[in-house]
Structure 1
Amino acid sequence: MKDWLELLNDANVDLSEYKEKEINDIDKAKLKNSLRRKVLKSKTNNMKKIAVASMAIISLITITNSKVIADKFEKLISKNPIENFTNYEEIIGANYRNIVDQTVTNNGVSITINEVIFDYKEILISYTVSGENIDAKSITLYPKIFINGEEIKRGGISGTYSDNDDQLHQFSFEPREHISKVGEFDMKIVIGGKYDFEQDKIIEEGKWEFDFKVSNVAINESTQIFDIDKKINLSNGSSIYVSKVTITPVSTTVEFEVENIPEEELAKSLSIGCIIEDSKGKILKQISSRGISYNYLDKKGTAVSKFRNVSENAENISIIPTILFDLYYDEKNIYNQELQQNKIEIDIN
């Protein structure tokens, strides 16, 4: 996990939230440049790092003589970063995260939106739930998400909780239509009321609403997309295309296309995946997969597998497509033996 000083150096902050006291543009520039120089310089020595950062904080608060600056500084550091969740412990950098830290209490339940991260075709939301009459670990939330006033229809949805804290949860939301626009957005998250998924009664009877600004600029600048379009023909007459690989600081996504798969093979719960290894020797663990969506008339389909992020400073990755039956991978299966002869190498630096 990144330490708090590195998070400070990279994090996004919306200073427009704070209206208590204004400082002029010249003073803002001086403060920003001074803090950046001191934090960057401090990387050479851990003790010096603490001292310099502390001096920067004191300088900020003393110059303005206002609590608002301390509040702004607090928002630079995420209290509950995504690294608390399995599959995201080793993510790279922190400048892609949007720290929200907003809490709303209703119906005896307090919900805090901690972070929002745009990760390729998903929106990851970290939140905390607490209350005297709830089991925070098992409680189920299905938020509605609005961007610039428009509700984002979902294509996929999932949730989990942190092994480090039963009150800390993560929600993964896949928009039905990919958000291609890059920039800053007004986001609203609404929790509560009736939903097409069954929720806990205490959640259905309440309402929690959050409004804040988010940005996907930083993570898009750090995202690499490789159009592979490699076709692999198998002895059963079917073909697998590795169509696209997307690498972000948070995850690695491989997209496939398939065609002419025999129906008797599909009946065996056939699914498509891959094994990914980077140049640092790290075999990426799979986070999730979307099974084959197959059109029997066209005899074509698609599949997606999402993995953990590639190691920092890795120079390349290798991908071996796989076929699984009933979610089981048999490397001695004839099709997998054929696929092993079609390893894909991608230079990423």
Structure 2
Amino acid sequence: MKKNIYDMLNEVEIDLNEYDIEDFSDIEKAKIKKNFKKSIRNKNTLYKKGAIIASIAILSIGLVGSNLGNQVWACANTIVYDIASHLGIEKSLDEYKTVIDKSITNNGITIKLNEVILDKDELIISSIRKYSEKIGEDSLPITADIYINGKEVSDACGGGSRKIDEYTVEDIMSYDLEENDFSGDLNIKAVFSNARINGKTKKGRWVFEFKTNGDELKLDTKEISLNNTFTLENGQNIILEKYTSNNLGQKIYYSKTPKGTDYDMVLRGHDDLGNKIEFYASRETASNGIFKLTTIHGNLNENAKILTLTPYAVKFPEKSGRMSNDFKKVGKEFTIDLSK
């Protein structure tokens, strides 16, 4: 049976005080994930999706429901509706995004889809939620089931929220797609259902249908084949297969043998210009996953030619409790030649 995501919140221990204020712009992607990922170990796809939704809820409680969150977003100067600004991306994404600009109201809640970007294996959606009552600290995000050409393809999601006023919240959510070979014009359906606000669940459905196309971004994505392997303490081999880069950011794809999800991992290092860089484990299944470059330290310098990285890992706790940040080196330093 699918586990209720609000019950799962009780399984996750999180302390926002352990994070520096400047980290919050990328915190959900690079920090909070460590504190909830233990809840999705050895579970089925539906449970994984629920746990990831729960992690977004935690982030929103931390940001939307506190003065700290307001300070963070005020300092970030994030532009409403703009995916690039929200994600800390300095390059323009205008040629890759589809503007939706459609609103649906149901049971006192209006959801407006602003714009979307399809990046091969993820769909990024910018939206606004407006409530008929003031938003409390436990008002959780509403996430969507994503269908492409009639088939449900979303199995996990992540992102962040910011409070615009006492009734309105902006969300930027990234939905992982089960298939990653989409091309041409695609028929997309995003189905939002039910909302948690002020301790109550409001029934409802907000269904958006639109077309988008990720071919232009795919053409502008650089790929570099990798052949690097490191071994975790449990004997599991992590095989780094390819590096990709486009205006949305940089990723490293990996596979695992044997299968399993016992560790959180990061790749830490620097570029040839001396800039600090870190890739965090953004998405993971039992057999593969993706590292993404965090923007906590800024975007990748466009003049960088060499990335030098070292893998680190920490085991997920066997029982509920605080996630350890005691990452240990698990492999040798390696380089990625960006000039290829």
TM range (shorter): 0.5 to 0.7
Kept after mapping to 2: 8 A contact 1:110/1:131: yes
Partners of 2:325 and 2:310 in 1: CA distance: 16
1:174 counterpart residue number: 176
What is the Cα deviation at residue 313 of structure 1?
4.1
What is the Cα deviation at residue 128 of structure 1?
0.4
Partners of 2:132 and 2:272 in 1: CA distance: 49
Partners of 2:281 and 2:231 in 1: CA distance: 25
2:314 counterpart residue number: 324
Partners of 2:250 and 2:314 in 1: CA distance: 20
Question: Structure 2: which amino acid aligns with 1:208?
Answer: W
Identical positions, percent? 20
Structure of higher CA gyration radius: 1
Q: Of Structure 1 and Structure 2, which has the larger fraction of its residues in strand?
A: 2
Shift in CA distance, 279/215, structure 1 to aligned 2, threshold 3 Å: farther
Q: Does 1:81 align with 2:82?
A: yes
What is the Cα deviation at residue 344 of structure 1?
1.8
Kept after mapping to 2: 8 A contact 1:119/1:251: no
What is the Cα deviation at residue 345 of structure 1?
2.4
Q: Does 1:98 align with 2:98?
A: yes
Q: Does 1:305 align with 2:284?
A: no
What is the Cα deviation at residue 204 of structure 1?
4.8
Partners of 2:280 and 2:266 in 1: CA distance: 12
Shift in CA distance, 208/168, structure 1 to aligned 2, threshold 3 Å: same
Question: Structure 1: which amino acid aligns with 2:147?
Answer: F
Shift in CA distance, 345/182, structure 1 to aligned 2, threshold 3 Å: same
Q: Does 1:343 align with 2:308?
A: no
| Counterpart pick for 2:304 among 304, 309, 314 | 314
Partners of 2:82 and 2:189 in 1: CA distance: 20
Shift in CA distance, 136/120, structure 1 to aligned 2, threshold 3 Å: farther
2:155 counterpart residue number: 155
What secondary structure does 1:135 align onto? coil
Kept after mapping to 2: 8 A contact 1:318/1:343: yes
Shift in CA distance, 127/282, structure 1 to aligned 2, threshold 3 Å: farther
Kept after mapping to 2: 8 A contact 1:271/1:292: no
Shift in CA distance, 234/134, structure 1 to aligned 2, threshold 3 Å: closer
Partners of 2:172 and 2:273 in 1: CA distance: 29
Unaligned runs of 5+ in 2: 1-78, 317-323
CA shift digits 1:65-118 (9 cap, x unpaired): xxxxxxxxxxxxx95101343xx2124221222222211222222111111112
Unaligned runs of 5+ in 1: 1-77, 294-300
Question: Structure 2: which amino acid aligns with 1:113?
Answer: L
Question: Structure 2: which amino acid aligns with 1:229?
Answer: N
1:289 counterpart residue number: 282
Partners of 1:240 and 1:108 in 2: CA distance: 48
CA shift digits 1:102-151 (9 cap, x unpaired): 11222222111111112242111111011222528733212122323x13
Taking CA–CA contacts closer than 8 Å with sequence separation of 6 or more, which of the two structures ends up with the larger relative contact order?
2
1:1-349 mapped onto 2 (5 Å cutoff): 80-85=81-86, 88-94=87-93, 95-135=95-135, 138-148=139-149, 150-162=150-162, 167-178=169-180, 180-192=181-193, 199=196, 204-232=202-230, 239-259=237-257, 269-286=262-279, 288-290=281-283, 293=286, 301-308=287-294, 310-326=300-316, 327-330=324-327, 335-336=329-330, 339-340=331-332, 342-348=333-339
Shift in CA distance, 158/231, structure 1 to aligned 2, threshold 3 Å: closer
Shift in CA distance, 127/276, structure 1 to aligned 2, threshold 3 Å: farther
Give the superposed CA RMSD: 3.5
What secondary structure does 2:81 align onto? coil
2:53 counterpart residue number: none
What is the Cα deviation at residue 169 of structure 1?
0.8
Partners of 2:159 and 2:231 in 1: CA distance: 37
What secondary structure does 1:90 align onto? coil
Shift in CA distance, 316/291, structure 1 to aligned 2, threshold 3 Å: same
Shift in CA distance, 203/187, structure 1 to aligned 2, threshold 3 Å: farther
Kept after mapping to 1: 8 A contact 2:266/2:278: no
Equivalenced residue count is 246
What is the Cα deviation at residue 186 of structure 1?
2.5
Kept after mapping to 1: 8 A contact 2:266/2:279: no
Q: What is the TM-score with the length of structure 2 in the denominator?
A: 0.60
Partners of 1:237 and 1:223 in 2: CA distance: 33
What secondary structure does 1:220 align onto? helix
1:32 counterpart residue number: none
Kept after mapping to 1: 8 A contact 2:124/2:174: yes
Shift in CA distance, 257/191, structure 1 to aligned 2, threshold 3 Å: closer
Partners of 2:285 and 2:303 in 1: CA distance: 33
What is the Cα deviation at residue 280 of structure 1?
4.5
Q: What is the TM-score with the length of structure 1 in the denominator?
A: 0.59
Partners of 2:210 and 2:236 in 1: CA distance: 48
CA shift digits 1:301-348 (9 cap, x unpaired): 544322235333433323322233455355xx5x54xx24x3222224
